[in-house]
Amino acid sequence: MVGGSGHTGGEACRLLLNHPGVARIVPTSRSAEPFERLHPNLLGSGLDFVPVEDVVAAAAEFDAVLLCTPSGEAMRLAPALLDAGTRVVDLSADFRFADPERYRAAHGREHTAPELLGEAVYGATEFHRDRIREARLIANPGCYAITALIGLAPLVRAGLASPGIPLHIAAVNGTTGAGTTPRTDVLHAEVIGSLLPYSLRGHRHAPELEDQFARLAGAPVTVDLSTAHGDFARGIHIQASVLVRPELRDGLTRESLLARYLDFYGEGDRGEYFVRVNHQPSLGGPTDKDYGRFPHLAAVAGSNFVHIGLDYDARLGIARVVAVSDNLVKGAAGSAVQNLNLALGLPEAEGLRSYGL
């Protein structure tokens, strides 16, 4: 594993240490700090950091390498790793776009390995499972992107969204999403009891979502994504408003939307295991504070699940979607392990069946 010192690298190690199919974990770091000092929750794991160069040199010995690196590093390392015959799961943004110009526009730098972009498989497991099984290079989705994609896919695939109208998505993530580089703005004392909006001129996950939604819709889709850090460590909370096409509003209700979602994803072991739709019955009137019909962020902490809740505003013709996930698990390391399981021929949910805390 390249990049084992950050939140995502530490979470990947935590999951892999509990994975029955993993025999050896080799994390790297450029930090001089010992592994267990940076990740005290893994005290006693026996893991030690090695130089990045050691993993690259021994790449042929590994079944797979996870790249938990900042954008720009994976494109530098991936060619040599792939040439050595190992599979690569990239948790950065380097291989999420098939078009190098789309990458440059979203991330402000030129892509240095454009020859690999056409080969990379976007690692939204629930949508690209068959391709991931055969992939050498898997591009893990962004945390906002995978949560919003799972949350809105049934509406987009069914053509319910009004064409030409942006999908409005308001999203909040935990402060772990800001990384480990010290910044006063995201210190606990600064964030607690507050919200910290950012990237309101255009978040880099919006073009990523537009690419994926366009595949589902068979037509261009525009995404209006606004983001903020909340006063919690881990999690993604998304609320989306989708203006339903006028000709499709007749008879639309929360119950009919729930039926559509349950048909799309199934339930538990009979469907997408990591996608759970909250279909608790509505209690009281439409304006009552019925909290139980929507997912709670705390319920997915530490898990690889996405929980989805729905409602319908008949006056405005707007479908409301709430989706929550753990940004470090389903939004990063958990999705990577889920994809790794597929690529290595292991049961998809192996090592990931833990429910929320």
Residue 244 CA to residue 248 CA, distance in Å, equals 7
Q: How many domains does the chain have?
A: 2
- Percent of the chain, pLDDT > 90? 88
**115/236 same-domain check:** no
What is the average per-residue pLDDT within 232-245?
97
Does residue 90 share a domain with residue 151?
no
Task: Evaluate whether residue 357 is within a structural domain.
Answer: no
- pLDDT of 183 reads 84
How far, in Å, CA of 7 to CA of 157, rounded?
A: 33
- Per DSSP, what are the bridge partners of residue 228? 172, 197
Flag whether 201 is in a domain.
Answer: yes
Is 143 one of the catalytic residues? yes
3-class SS of residue 36: helix
Cα 331 from Cα 235, distance rounded (Å): 9
* 137 bridge partner residues: 88
pLDDT (average), residues 117-144: 97
Q: With 90 as the cut, is the pLDDT of residue 190 above it?
A: no
**Average pLDDT of 217-246?**
96
User: Among 156-170, 220-234, 284-298, which stretch is predicted with the lowest mean pLDDT?
Assistant: 284-298
Distance CA 154, CA 341 (A): 25
Distance (Å, rounded) from C-alpha 332 to C-alpha 92? Answer: 9
pLDDT classification of 284: cutoffs 50, 70, 90: confident
Q: Could you give the residue ranges of the DSSP H alpha helices within the chain?
A: 7-17, 35-38, 52-57, 74-83, 100-107, 125-134, 143-157, 188-191, 205-217, 254-265, 334-343
User: In the predicted model, what is the mean pLDDT of residues 262-273?
Assistant: 89
Residue 340 lies in a domain: no
Tell me what pLDDT residue 160 has.
Answer: 96
Report the CATH number that the domain containing residue 103 is assigned in CATH: 3.40.50.720
Does residue 158 share a domain with residue 55?
Answer: no
Q: Give all strands (DSSP E) within the chain, no chain letters.
A: 64-67, 87-90, 121-122, 137-139, 167-173, 196-198, 223-229, 236-243, 275-277, 306-313, 318-325
Enumerate residues 6+ apart whose C-beta is below 8 A from 174. Answer: 229, 230, 232, 233, 234, 235, 236, 327
Across residues 78-87, what is the average pLDDT?
97
Q: Which residue, among 27, 24, 23, 21, has the nearest Cα to 8 in the 3D structure?
A: 27
* Model confidence at 48: pLDDT above 80: yes
Domain that holds residue 83: 7-119
Looking at the structure, tell me whether residues 26 and 61 fall in a common domain.
Answer: yes
What's the average model confidence in pLDDT over 97-118? 94
Alpha carbons within 13 angstroms on the beta-carbon side of residue 167 total 31
Residue 356 placed within a domain = no
- Give the residue-averaged pLDDT of 10-33: 95
Q: Which of 135, 143, 161, 301 is catalytic?
A: 143
Higher pLDDT, 119 or 283: 119
pLDDT class of 159 with cuts at 50, 70, 90? very high
Residue 111 has which token pair? 């892509």
Quote the pLDDT of residue 290: 87
Nearest CA to 152 out of 66, 104, 212 is that of 212
Q: Is residue 333 over pLDDT 90?
A: yes
Whether the per-residue pLDDT at 268 is higher than 80: the answer is no
Judged against a pLDDT cut of 80, whether residue 269 lies above it is answered with no
Chain segment 285-320, per-residue pLDDT in tens: 777 888 999 999 999 999 999 999 999 999 999 999
The chain-wide mean pLDDT, for the chain, equals 95
94 and 162 part of one domain: no
Region of 218 (left: φ > 0; alpha: ψ -120 to 50; beta: rest) is: left
The answer as to whether 138 is a domain residue is no
